[in-house]
Amino acid sequence: MDLDRLDRRILSILQADGRIAAVDLADQVGLSPTSTGERLKRLQKDGYIEGFGARLNPERIGLGLLIFVEVSLHRTTPDVFDRFANAVRRAPQVIECHMVAGGFDYLIKTRVSGMAAYRRFLAEVLLTLPDVRETRTYAVMEEVKAHGALPL
């Protein structure tokens, strides 16, 4: 299904404010609340909207240090990729994990309370993942742009 101008407007508004009241959303897109609600249900059913949630302040919950880790595997075969991916999915400390093209195999994102906590994560989680050959760690000094909306 192709998105029309109103669908894109609804998605843009929801990216900025997922808690907007249905009547306010309808007012902003220039449709009736019923029509807006129908579009919203369709966008969810068709998979354009994956879900809604709260964005937490990592500093306030004790996870102020953002870390990215490059991971290289011993071998790059389908069974190795599957084993690694399945293990990562079971590691709650891993916020994101992406298979990438380039000089390494995966890029992992995690948040921890500090360097001592990262050291524990590295030893107890990351280096125990199957087929890990090498890691490179990048501690984030400043988050310049986070939680950006998708360009519509």
Residue 51 lies in a domain: no
Residues 138 and 68: beta-carbon distance below 8 Å: yes
131 lies in a domain? yes
CA–CA separation, 152 and 68 (whole Å) = 27
- Express each pLDDT in 56-100 by its tens digit: 999 999 999 999 999 999 999 999 999 999 999 999 999 999 999
Residue at 126 is within a domain: yes
79: in domain: yes
Q: Are both 92 and 120 inside the same structural domain? A: yes
Number of domains in the chain: 2
Please determine, for residue 1, whether its predicted confidence score (pLDDT) is greater than 70: no
Q: Comparing C-alpha atoms, which of 143, 146, 140 is closest to residue 114?
A: 140
Nearest to 18 by CA among 60, 57, 42, 51: 51
**104: CATH:** 3.30.70.920
**pLDDT digit string, tens, across residues 2-48:** 899 999 999 999 999 999 999 999 999 999 999 999 999 999 999 99
Residue 55 resides in a domain? no
Distances (CA, A) of 46 to 12, 42, 59, 147: 17, 6, 35, 23
Q: Which domain, by its residues, includes 104?
A: 65-139
For residues 102-126, give the mean pLDDT.
97
138 pLDDT more than 80: yes
Q: What is the pLDDT of residues 49-58, one digit of tens each?
A: 999 999 999 9
Q: Are residues 40 and 69 in the same domain?
A: no
Structural domain includes residue 56: no
In-domain check, residue 52: no
Q: 84 and 21, same structural domain?
A: no
- Residue 115's pLDDT band (cuts 50, 70, 90): very high
Q: What is the CATH number of the domain that holds 14?
A: 1.10.10.10
Does residue 145 belong to any structural domain of this protein?
A: no
How confident is residue 112, by pLDDT bands cut at 50, 70 and 90? very high
